[in-house]
């Protein structure tokens, strides 16, 4: 896939891009394995030009773009995401005024992955600046064994408040409704309202919403309702 180049393509990266476009994407589409196409556009990985080629190929098969970008450098990936109406651009540690302005002119959701930044000791994405500029922001775990081995969304809320200066209410929105938008499912999940699936987390008795990110090491979940059924 379009995350990293296999060793055998180290000196012929465009050939691997051709393989993705001509062989992988058609098979994924034929077997209905994906609704979206995601590329890691960053320093040492896929260039903006290679990313555009892959996204255009995916679009021909009805796959909406998503991009992981600007984790390691200001790669131009955010602008590529905006150009191709990506559902989200993820990581985005290196985000400046030009990137924020581009996002303001789009429907692309900037998505911060604080677990990866923490685990890899990377700079923090300027989430507070993005919100102050008028952007919505999603926060997600990026749960994976290589760079973010935690899927604890409560911990991500704590990171959002402590390291990224979000208010608890902003952090809650970032990990629920905005994250649902970033996955293209905000019409059915992400908030508690008529017409959406009844996916609800019920906490143990706590004094306030603020206690959720405050008590970062505590398990506060009492019960979970999924699709209207108590688990």
pTM, two decimals, is 0.94
Query: Across the beta sheet with 88-91, what order do the strands follow?
Result: 36-41, 64-69, 88-91, 109-112, 138-139
3-state secondary structure of 126: coil
Q: Is residue 79 part of a domain?
A: yes
Q: Is residue 97 part of a domain?
A: yes
Name the helix (H) or strand (E) containing 58: helix 48-60
pLDDT score for 167? 98
**Alpha-carbon gap, residue 41 to 26, rounded angstroms:** 21
Count how many domains the chain has.
Answer: 1
Residue 64 has which token pair?
A: 């909406």
Counted residue by residue, the chain has a size of 231
pLDDT score for 186? 98
Q: Using a CB cutoff of 8 Å and minimum separation of 24, what contacts does 42-46 make?
A: 42/68, 42/69, 42/70, 42/71, 42/72, 42/73, 42/75, 42/77, 42/91, 43/72, 43/73, 43/75, 44/72, 45/3, 45/4, 45/5, 46/2, 46/17
Give the domain extent around 15. Answer: 7-188
Count of Cβ atoms closer than 10 Å to residue 205 Cβ: 7
Q: Is residue 204 part of a domain?
A: no
Tens digit of pLDDT for each residue in 9-27?
A: 999 999 999 999 999 999 9
pLDDT score for 69? 98
Q: Is residue 226 part of a domain?
A: no
Nearest by Cα to 99 from 119, 61, 60, 73? 73
Tens digit of pLDDT for each residue in 34-76?
A: 999 999 999 999 999 999 999 999 999 999 999 999 999 999 9
**Alpha-carbon gap, residue 213 to 45, rounded angstroms:** 34
Tens digit of pLDDT for each residue in 96-144?
A: 999 999 999 999 999 999 999 999 999 999 999 999 999 999 999 999 9
Residue with tokens 């409704």: 177
CATH number at residue 138: 3.20.20.140
Q: Is residue 63 part of a domain?
A: yes
Cβ(6)–Cβ(36) below 8 Å: no
Q: What is the mean pLDDT of the chain?
A: 97
pLDDT score for 75? 96
Split at pLDDT 50, 70, 90, the class of 84 is: very high
Nearest by Cα to 105 from 83, 127, 73, 128? 83
Nearest by Cα to 142 from 126, 119, 176, 125? 119
pLDDT score for 5? 97
């Amino acid at each position: 896939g379009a995350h990293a180049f296999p060793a055998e393509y180290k000196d012929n990266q465009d050939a691997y891009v051709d393989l993705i476009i001509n062989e992988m994407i058609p098979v994924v589409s034929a077997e209905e394995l994906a609704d979206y196409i995601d590329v890691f556009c960053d320093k040492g990985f896929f260039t903006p030009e290679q990313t555009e080629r892959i996204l255009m190929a995916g679009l021909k098969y009805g796959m909406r773009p998503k991009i992981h970008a600007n984790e390691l450098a200001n790669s131009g990936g955010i602008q590529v995401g905006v150009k191709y109406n990506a559902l989200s651009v993820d990581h985005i540690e290196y985000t400046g005024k030009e990137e924020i302005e581009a996002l303001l002119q789009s429907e692309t959701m900037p998505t911060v992955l604080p677990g990866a930044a923490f685990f890899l000791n990377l700079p923090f994405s300027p989430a507070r600046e993005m919100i102050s500029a008028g952007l919505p922001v999603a926060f997600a775990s990026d749960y994976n064994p290589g760079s973010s081995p935690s899927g604890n969304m409560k911990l991500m809320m704590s990171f959002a408040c402590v390291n990224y200066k979000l208010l608890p209410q902003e952090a809650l929105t970032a990990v629920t409704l905005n994250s649902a938008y970033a996955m293209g499912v905000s019409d059915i999940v992400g908030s508690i309202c008529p017409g959406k699936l009844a996916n609800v987390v019920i906490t143990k008795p706590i004094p306030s919403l603020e206690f959720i990110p405050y008590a970062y090491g505590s398990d506060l979940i009492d019960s979970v309702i999924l699709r209207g059924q108590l688990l």
